[in-house]
Structure 1
Amino acid sequence: MTRDSTVAGREIVFTNSHGSRVSHRFGATIVDWSYEPGPGDPHPVVSGRDDYEAFDIAEGLVYTQFHHSRDVPNAAVSLVLDFEHGRSLAVVSTIGDPAEDRTRVQHTFLPGRIEGLATSGTEPASTAALLGRRVLWTQADGCRYEHVHLEPGSYSWRCLAGPAAGRAGTDECTTYELRPEIYVFAARETAAPSTSVTIADHRDLAALRSYGAVFGLDRTGERPTQSTFGAVGELLGHTATTA
């Protein structure tokens, strides 16, 4: 994915839904960040420096992705900045210890407000808008996946081309709406400690687009690793749902 100049050279500060102040200073390829917890936020004061990638999704809407590989290696951040509406959404992906009652990978969603900008529109919020949609995604590397959104909190997928061809499953997911027909889609794989966060642009149903990252353990099962990708999509149709 190509780094985008929209955020390069800028310092962006926002206050999240915990009342905590988070700052990011974006260079050409590196982001320096710090987290100052608000009252009642148990998160410690922390700061770090990471490689990042970023893209323009729409006018004034930027998606950035980075892995805390040096400081907090079991965590990665998908950060969406909406400069037009003065809002942000941070999705923190973490890899935890195995547990019987939950996937090993988890997501935390933290809406926020960008300092120095007027706030308008609605805050990013969870949505069931994708229910019933059946989509074929083709990634830049040629991998092809079919997604079927049948019920809240989960989706079914099938790999049609690529190294995982023939595999299929049903996994947990969460969807947030950023703007009309632009979504954050976060999936948590059950069979392996792996998670994906994508920005899914459904504004043009004839030419869907997504940008995202996969975060999980490498083949040794010990080292957290992240890879980013882009994809184009085709809406195959709608199915009956249980929502």
Structure 2
Amino acid sequence: MTTSSDWITVGALADGFAPEAFILPNLADLNGKTFTLNFANGWQIEHRFDRETLSWTAADGHSTGTADYRATSVRPGLYLVDFIKREGSQAWSISLVLDTASASFTAVIGRMPTHEQTREGLYSRALAGKNLTSVEVDFLHGSLDRPWQEGQCPHAPTTELTGLRNLYRYSPSEVYEHIYLNDQFYSWQCLKGVEQGLCDTDRCHYYKIADQLYLFVWREKIIPTLGLVLIDLQQHRSDGKIFGYAGSSFDELSNFPVSSYCQVLNRTEYPDA
């Protein structure tokens, strides 16, 4: 069991999650498919999939690239595609929720802080009115293979998870609890595993994707971490990834899959809320 000071890097966390992890298989049925993502902000980017790599080309020709990707599906016609986009020394976490039933998508773009940003203390950030976490994230929406029109993407912020206490089993050795406090924060604790005994309250974001299916994203402040999962309360499964620096030297990234069997422990209803 850890003590209160035993925080570990994201790379060490990946090593802890790996043995016998309950990972959903990487799907091969995107092989040979092409989707044109029409963003609400005006971007138009074609994504072409083969068995292991994803290639993208922007309509203006200014953005092209190729990356290895992971694609999973918790429900028919819905894909979670995850990859790292690199340009020179810059790297972004890209996660796409491709919803073929509604011909829409949500893109989650995450960035790790620089070494200099991590040296800024929490007290200084609080006094400056900044988020306590230096991990950045953007949420973009759009339509698949058709021009964007307002209202075409049904994915929307939600408070339906507020008050929920959920247990996540990522492997026989890794068990966590989440408590969804409000529309901006949640608390977590490690009940079993390499972070056993650790807990915190962090900034988070919730989107409803479909009935009892939610996109949950969190940003940790102690060890710079971006987590992203789809939570399916019907199937009692979650699937996603954790992204951060592999070690303390800021020269290597870790982006590893996490899937779980989850169960609702209880839900708190606040009479005066």
TM-score by length of 1: 0.88
Residue of 195, 206, 209 corresponding to 2:237: 209
5 Å-filtered alignment, 1:34-113, equals: 34-36=57-59, 45-69=62-86, 73-97=90-114, 98=117, 100=125, 101-102=130-131, 103-113=133-143
Residue in structure 1 matched with residue 38 of structure 2 by the alignment: 15
5 Å-filtered alignment, 1:1-243, equals: 1-36=24-59, 45-69=62-86, 73-97=90-114, 98=117, 100=125, 101-102=130-131, 103-116=133-146, 123-140=154-171, 142-204=173-235, 208-222=236-250, 223-241=252-270
SS in 2 for 1:151: coil
| Distance apart, 1:151 and its partner CA | 1.6
Distance in 2 of aligned mates of 1:172 and 1:87: 26
Does the 8 A contact of 2:105 with 2:153 survive in 1?
A: no
SS in 2 for 1:74: strand
Task: Pick closer, same or farther for the CA change 1:110–1:148 going to 2, 3 Å.
Answer: same
Higher RCO, 1 or 2 (CA under 8 Å, sep at least 6)? 2
| Distance apart, 1:2 and its partner CA | 2.1
RMSD of aligned alpha carbons: 2.3
TM-score by length of 2: 0.79
| Distance apart, 1:5 and its partner CA | 2.5
SS in 2 for 1:187: strand
| Distance apart, 1:9 and its partner CA | 1.0
Deviations 1:135-174, CA, capped at 9 Å, x for gaps: 0000036311000011220000010111000000000000
| Distance apart, 1:23 and its partner CA | 1.5
Residue in structure 2 matched with residue 40 of structure 1 by the alignment: none
Aligned length: 234
Distance in 1 of aligned mates of 2:148 and 2:109: 25
Task: Pick closer, same or farther for the CA change 1:117–1:4 going to 2, 3 Å.
Answer: farther
Bigger Rg, which one: 2
Task: Pick closer, same or farther for the CA change 1:35–1:122 going to 2, 3 Å.
Answer: closer
Taking only the aligned residue pairs, the percentage that are identical comes to: 26
Does the 8 A contact of 1:140 with 1:229 survive in 2?
A: no
Gaps of 5+ in 1: 38-43
Does the 8 A contact of 2:38 with 2:148 survive in 1?
A: no
Does the 8 A contact of 1:150 with 1:240 survive in 2?
A: no
| Distance apart, 1:121 and its partner CA | 7.0
Deviations 1:173-193, CA, capped at 9 Å, x for gaps: 000111111111000001111
Deviations 1:91-113, CA, capped at 9 Å, x for gaps: 11111342522322121111110
Does the 8 A contact of 1:86 with 1:118 survive in 2?
A: no
| Distance apart, 1:240 and its partner CA | 3.6
